[in-house]
Amino acid sequence: MLFFIISLAIWRITHLVTKEDGPFNMIYRLRKWAGPGFFGELMDCFYCCSIWIALPFALGTEEGWKNQLIYWLAYSGLACIMEKLTEKREIG
């Protein structure tokens, strides 16, 4: 159960960073400040960003580097699946 709760939190944080302006446009300003470089591109790609958002969760919840590696990818993977299931599809 904890795995799904953490994955949901990762999805939420990643969605906020990549798709929303945030409260008081804080995320928008941060994205603008990051510019077109590595961090700016990272903030534009849900799938790229979810990998880095998931890393501290995996390091903080799992013991041993093998478990941390597996859970790091699994947390990001489930967040990506949730993003696919919730993204708006264009009809046309």
Q: Which domain holds residue 10?
A: 2-85
Does residue 15 lie in a domain region? yes
The answer to whether 58 and 72 are in contact (CB under 8 A) is yes
- pLDDT of 80 > 70? The answer is yes
**10-60 residue pLDDT tens:** 999 999 999 998 889 998 898 888 888 888 888 889 999 999 999 999 999
Beta strand segments in the chain, E: none
Helix (H) / strand (E) containing 81: helix 65-86
Does residue 91 lie in a domain region? no
Written as six digits, the tokens of 84 are 């696919």
- Count up the domains in the chain and report the number: 1
pLDDT at 73: 97
Written as six digits, the tokens of 58 are 């995996």
Say how many C-beta atoms besides its own lie within 10 A of residue 74's C-beta. 15
Does residue 21 lie in a domain region? yes
**What is the residue type of 48?**
C
**57-70 residue pLDDT tens:** 999 999 999 999 99
Q: Distance between CA atoms of 4 and 57, rounded to whole angstroms?
A: 12
